[in-house]
Structures are given as C-alpha cells and as structure tokens.
Amino acid sequence: MPISSLPRLEPRLLTELGSFVGSSNVLTASTDLLAYDCDGTTLEKLPPSAVVFVSHTRQVSEIVQWCARNKISYTARGAGTGLSGGALTLDGGILIELSRMNRILSVDTRSGLAVVEPGLVNVHLTRAVSEEGYYFAPDPSSQAACTLGGNVAENSGGPHTLKYGVTTNHILGLTVVLPSGEIVEVGGECRGTPGYDLIGLFVGSEGTLGIVTRITVRLMRAPQTTRTLLLSFSSTLDASLAVSAIIAQGIIPAALEMMDRLVCEAVEKKLSLGIPEGTEAVLLVEIDGFEAGQDDLVSRIETIGSAHDALQVRAARNDAERSDLWRARKGAFGAIGSISPSYYTHDGVIPRSKLPEVLARIDEIVAEEGLRVANVFHAGDGNLHPLLLFDEREADQIVRAHRAGEAILRLCVEVGGSLTGEHGIGFEKIGAMSWLFDEATLSVMHGVRLALNPDQLCNPGKAVPSPASCREVRRVFGSKRYA
C-alpha cells in the first residue's frame, strides 16, 4: 500500500490515545504501521491507523470506551501468527497490542490451574510449569510464538488435541473487556459456574465479542510415558486407510499426524530422518499417558501398519529421536519454503473415514489447476492442511491456487465437514460461511454478535458475516501463505 494512502488518525485523537498509555506506547509512523499490516496471512495487507501497546486491563477498557465515543474500530493482536486474517484492521481501525501483557500471575498445580495474561506465549506457560510436572495441553505448531490470547480467540488446536482437546477444553475463566468497556469475569476457577457457558461462547469468537485480558487455564499432568512411531507407506491411500483403521479400532492416540511425500522430502533435507525410498506418506503416531497397556496399543498400531503394507514401522528409541520427529512435523510448514517460492494453505475438516476419498479428490483438483500440493495435517481428527504450492510472481498461479483452495473447501463441506478446524474464519473465509450455515443460523450468529458488540467496532468483518455486507462477500478468500 502506498504510504500516502495509509489510514490516519487526527492529531487530537492521537494525543488522547497517548494519554491512556503514554505517547511512547502508541505507534503512528508509517514505517511502524507497515510492520503491522498483516498476520500469518501475508498476502493481504491492511495497516492500522495506530498501534497501542497496553499493559493492563483498565487501560484496555479506557481505550475501548474511547473507541466507542469516537466511533473508531479496533482489533486485538497477540503475536500476529493467525492464519485467517483475524488480526488485520479492515477499515482503518487501531490495533490493541497485547504482547506486553505477558505475565504468569499465579500457578496452582494442586488445583491444576494457572492464571495468565493474554500476551503470554503458549510454550512459555508449559516451560514455566514443566519442572513441577505439568503442561498446557493445546500445542499449535506455532506455539513458540503465538499467544494464549490468540489461542483463546481462535480456539486453537495442535497435534495433541486429538486426545486432549482444543483450547476451549482447557479454559476455566476469562476476564473480558466488553465492547461497552465494561470488565467482566466469566467462568471461574472450577467447572460448572452457574449460568450460560460464556467461556464456550467467547473462546473461538475471534476477538469479535471483546478483548480478553486475563485467562485461567487448566494445567495437565505430564504423561508418565510417551511412545512415538513413524509409519511409512508407499501410497497415501494406504496411509489414510491406516488412519481410519486406528480410529475405528477405538484407539485414540495422543497425536496422529500425516505428512506426504513432498513434505517428507522437504523435512528430510533438513533433518535426515531416514525415511525409506518410495515413501509416499508417513504417519506420526504418538501414544502417551499411563504406561500400563501401552505395549498393547503400540503392537496394535504396528499390526494395522503391516496390514496396510507399511514400508517401515519405526519407534523413536529415545527422547532425541522423538524430538527430531516432532521437529520435522512442527517445522514442516517452514521446510516447504525450501521447495516452493510461495504456498497457500487451508484448514478444512472432514469426517475421518472420508480421508482416502478426499485426499484423492484433492490431488485431482490440484492437478487440474496445474499446481502441486503438499499435505501435512492432523489426520486423526480429519483436519486437513493442504499446502498449495505456487509462484506468486506469476499472477495466473495465484488465481489458480485460489480456485483450487476454494474447490477443496467446497469438497470438505460437501462430505459433511467444515471450513476450518483451528485457524478460524477471520475475514479470509467469511464469504464461504454460507456454504456451511443457512441464512437463519447466520442471522442468529450475527444477532449474538450485535448483542455484545452493537456498534460493531470490535474487530469488524471477521468470523461471522453481517447479512448485508458486500465487502465481505467479495472477499471469499484473501491470499494466504506463511513463511
């Protein structure tokens, strides 16, 4: 975006904004604002008119009230790793930057909980409690950077959510600054607090119902043992049939991830995992928890592997091997950068028994557009991440990547799945919401938004379409890739 067309706030407003947090905590220089013009969705760029760094709840409330008085829209931002454009300001609003609110306020392992600020980085929480034998279960691949506030807003998942559940299953209480500026506590320090399940509503609402300024999370006891297996297959079909077989046998591993040949090639270059020749797909399977009975589960998985003609079934022999396997999985997105100049991913979900059929259809869709696809995803819960590889210097390829992405998402919906399993609708997929939900349902969701956010100044244009917004409809898909 040319600097001359950046959104700007009048000087009077800037001075007022500075009075809440100190002028050094407000960014307004064009060069600074351009650093905040996107999240993990880097092809779509929309800079804010200011970035305000906040340090406590009351400040957030004052700023929100000031926004309401001046009819300025605002969006919360954690680490900006979101993958649906959630932390973009669409109409010249301001960004409320929470990364400085990153303290752990208290830890109570006896009660299995911790109270934290939203800017805390996901993995920092686990690090802080791991010595006591605890951890925070939701583990997005971005966990070294993303914040708990972002996790709450997106209801984030990760490889281990197959067994342990997503963010909403691990939140007990929230402090929320509502769009009215009012500060409310929802939930508490235990389950079952009286009234509607507001935790269930706020978690996953993509920052459109208020700004979360404090979070009470559940801490989990670290598992006694962990067994990690790598199964290599000579076809994606065999690998996906093996996934279905594992689930159908009633085995719920801690994690059940798939990576296809392209991804394996990319990670092999970096990590030399010794994946056998001729591998078209690998499954990374982890069993964890109480030790007794694990041998039994592992041998059942091995049997399923052989029954599906696995080329190799290998168990990590020690922690070092295990963490190599996970480095490969969590670094997979990054590794793809070494084999393609750009890529664009989706996050569709399908019933897990449909994996073989859907993966085959995806190959066809992508081939028709003359592109390549790399798959690295949460196979156990049917949450796909097809990475469409293309070259963004060629406009035509961008168009084809978008077309393929759209066809894949339509396919997910058609087989009974969803548009997104963990990355959120954001503004990227807002125009696709009508494929999934009928008009009545969308109007009720919008009604819920208006009930809490009547002026729609709080993160407008995200998550739930407003009935008559042409702007949103045009944006069926933003462009997307991550580095």
Partner 1 sequence: MHENEFVPGSEEELSSLLARFSRDGRPVLPVGGGSHLHVGVTPDPCWARVSLASMTGLVFHEAQDLVASFRAGTRLDEVQEVLGKRKQRLPLDPAHGPSTLGGCLGVDHSGILSHRFGTLRDLVLGMTVVLADGRIIRVGGRVVKNVAGYDLSKIMIGSLGTLGMMTEVIVKVVPEAETEAMFVRGFEDISEAWETALRINGDQLEPSSLFVAGAEAARAVCAREVPGKAFVFMGATGVTAFVSGHERHLNQDHAGTGRWVRIEAEEARDVTKRLPPFFSQGSPLSIRFGCRTGLLGEALSRFGQDSGWVVQPGSGTGWLRLVSYDLLSDLRSWLEGNGGYAVVWKGPENLRTEEIWGTSRDDVNVMRSLKKALDPRRILSPGRFVGGI
Ligand X SMILES: Cc1cc2nc3c(=O)[nH]c(=O)nc-3n(C[C@H](O)[C@H](O)[C@H](O)COP(=O)(O)OP(=O)(O)OC[C@H]3O[C@@H](n4cnc5c(N)ncnc54)[C@H](O)[C@@H]3O)c2cc1C
**Chain residues 242-271 in contact with partner 1, contact rule CB under 8 A:** 244, 247-250
468 binds, among ligand X, partner 1, none (CB under 5 to 8 A by kind): none
State yes or no: residue 150 binds ligand X (CB under 6 A).
Answer: yes
Scan residues 4-43 and list those touching ligand X (CB under 6 A): 39-40
State yes or no: residue 113 binds partner 1 (CB under 8 A).
Answer: yes
Cβ-count burial of 31 within 10 angstroms (0-12 exposed, 13-18 middle, 19+ buried)? Answer: exposed
- Among residues 86, 356, 417, 465, which is the contact residue for ligand X, using CB under 6 A? 86
- Among residues 22, 112, 341, 467, which is the contact residue for partner 1, using CB under 8 A? 112
Residue type, 447: G
11 binds, among partner 1, ligand X, none (CB under 5 to 8 A by kind): none
Residue 149 Cβ vs partner 1, minimum distance, rounded to whole Å: 16
- Nearest residue to 160 via CA among 424, 378, 382, 417: 378
452 binds, among ligand X, partner 1, none (CB under 5 to 8 A by kind): partner 1
Helices (H), 52-107: 57-70
Scan residues 156-195 and list those touching ligand X (CB under 6 A): 156-158
Q: Are 157 and 167 a contacting pair, CB within 8 Å?
A: yes
Instruction: Pick between residue 6 and residue 123 the one whose CB is nearest to ligand X.
Output: 123
State yes or no: residue 449 binds partner 1 (CB under 8 A).
Answer: yes
- Nearest residue to 72 via CA among 80, 61, 63, 62: 63
C-alpha span between 409 and 361 (Å, rounded): 12
C-alpha span between 230 and 267 (Å, rounded): 14
C-alpha span between 483 and 480 (Å, rounded): 10
158 binds, among ligand X, partner 1, none (CB under 5 to 8 A by kind): ligand X
Residues 97-116 as x/- pattern, contact with ligand X by CB under 6 A: -x------------------
Q: Give me the long-range contacts of 292-301 (CB less than 8 A, separation at least 24).
A: 294/225, 294/227, 297/251, 297/253, 298/227, 298/229, 300/249, 300/251, 301/229, 301/231, 301/246, 301/251, 301/253
State yes or no: residue 140 binds ligand X (CB under 6 A).
Answer: yes
C-alpha span between 260 and 335 (Å, rounded): 13
Scan residues 150-209 and list those touching partner 1 (CB under 8 A): 154-155, 157, 161, 165-166, 168-169, 178, 182-186, 188-201, 203-205
Residue 123 Cβ vs partner 1, minimum distance, rounded to whole Å: 21
State yes or no: residue 356 binds ligand X (CB under 6 A).
Answer: no
- Nearest residue to 137 via CA among 113, 119, 107, 154: 113
Sheet holding 104-108, edge to edge: 104-108, 113-116, 211-218, 171-177, 183-187
Candidate segments 77-85, 246-254, 287-295, 427-435, binder of ligand X by CB under 6 A: 77-85
The pair of structure tokens assigned to 280 is: 């078209």
Residues that bind ligand X (CB under 6 A): 39-40, 75-83, 86-87, 98, 118, 140-142, 146-147, 149-151, 153-154, 156-158, 206-207, 211-212, 333, 422-423, 459, 462, 482
